[in-house]
Amino acid sequence: MRIGMGYDVHRLVTDRKLIIGGVCIPFHKGLLGHSDADVLLHAIMDALLGAAALGDIGKHFPDTDGKFKDISSLFLLSEVKKLLDSKGYKIENLDATIIAEKPKMAPYIPNIIENISKALSIDPSKINVKATTEEGLGFTGQGEGIASQCICLLI
């Protein structure tokens, strides 16, 4: 068994879509990044890659490579799954947290879990996604960005 932990953060900016867990969430700001800046999926990928001792998403999908510009993080997540499969790893479970003051994430979590389940070809019962605020504290609490954390177990 191997445990991995992932963390990611992106700044909120105007003129970008807010995509979290592969779901386009209606909001007046989106996340800044080279890809679609899906902070949740980036944390999940880093947790999975870390558990397998395969580096991080920057190693596999560098933001200096134009082919990853505006790419779907769901696609990248499916590529991480292929890499794990090639090394003989199976995902036992994922537990992830989205840290955002706004917008409220709860209405979107079922669709997010479905997207992750499909991208990783695992049962949705192996995936837990929750959201929290920071009660107005820090950059996420002030609405400057959104963060995410994930822990996973591979066998």
Q: Annotation-wise, does 75 bind a ligand?
A: no
Q: Annotation-wise, does 34 bind a ligand?
A: yes
Q: Annotation-wise, does 118 bind a ligand?
A: no
- The torsion angles phi and psi of 106, rounded to 5 degrees, stand at -50, -45
Q: Annotation-wise, does 38 bind a ligand?
A: no
Contact 5, 150 (CB under 8 A): yes
Q: Annotation-wise, does 92 bind a ligand?
A: no
Q: Annotation-wise, does 52 bind a ligand?
A: no
Q: Annotation-wise, does 35 bind a ligand?
A: yes
Q: Which amino acid is at 8?
A: D
Q: Annotation-wise, does 102 bind a ligand?
A: yes
Q: Annotation-wise, does 134 bind a ligand?
A: yes
Q: Annotation-wise, does 103 bind a ligand?
A: yes
Q: What is the C-alpha to C-alpha distance for residues 105 and 122, in angstroms, rounded to an integer?
A: 22
Q: Give all strands (DSSP E) within 43-144, no chain letters.
A: 91-99, 127-132
Q: Annotation-wise, does 144 bind a ligand?
A: no
Q: Annotation-wise, does 5 bind a ligand?
A: no
Q: Annotation-wise, does 113 bind a ligand?
A: no
Q: Annotation-wise, does 125 bind a ligand?
A: no
Going by C-alpha positions, the residue among 72, 20, 88, 84 that lies closest to residue 47 is 84
| Residue list for the binding site for a divalent metal cation | 8, 10, 42
| Residue list for the binding site | 8-10, 34-35, 42, 56-58, 61-65, 100-106, 132-135, 139
